[in-house]
Amino acid sequence: MKSWIPVSRVEGRASRQAHCDLPEGTYEREAGREGFFGPATQFHHRHPPTGWNRFDGPLRPRAFDLTRLEPAGPSPFAAPVILHNAHTQIRLWRTDGAMDHLVRNTDGDQVLFIHEGGGHLFCDYGHLAVREGDYVVLPRGTAWRVSWDGSAMVLLVEATNDAFGLPLKGPVGRQAIFDPAVLDVPAIDAAFLDQQDEAEWHTVVKRRNELTTLVHPFNPLDAVGWHGDLAPVRLNWRDIRPLMSHRYHVPPSAHTTWLADRVVICTFCPRPIESDPGALKLPYYHSNDDYDEVIFYHRGQFFSRDNIHPGMSTFHPAGFPHGPHPGAYQTAMRHARKETDEVAVMIDTRDVLEVGDLPAGVEWTGYADSWKTNTR
Answer yes or no: is 44 a known binding residue: no
State the Cα–Cα distance between residues 146 and 148, nearest whole angstrom. Answer: 6
Answer yes or no: is 109 a known binding residue: no
3-state secondary structure labels for all residues of 138-193: ECCCCEEEEEEEEEEEEEEEEEECCCCECCCCHHHCCCCECCHHHCECCECCHHHH
State the Cα–Cα distance between residues 163 and 263, nearest whole angstrom. Answer: 10
C-alpha distances (whole Å) from 278 to each of 67, 257, 274, 329 are 39, 29, 9, 15
Close Cβ partners of 373 (under 8 Å, ≥ 6 residues apart)? none
Considering the candidates 84, 87, 127, 249, report the single residue annotated as catalytic. Answer: 249
327 DSSP 8-state letter: H
235 DSSP 8-state letter: E
Question: What is the three-class DSSP state of 252?
Answer: helix
State the Cα–Cα distance between residues 36 and 38, nearest whole angstrom. Answer: 6
| Beta partners for residue 5, in sequence order | none
Tally of CB atoms within 10 A around 360: 6
**Letter for the amino acid at 366?**
G
State the Cα–Cα distance between residues 270 and 35, nearest whole angstrom. Answer: 22
Answer yes or no: is 202 a known binding residue: no
Q: Is 249 a catalytic residue?
A: yes
Sequence ranges of the binding site: 286, 292, 322
Q: Binding site membership for homogentisate: which residues?
A: 322
Which residues are the active-site residues?
249
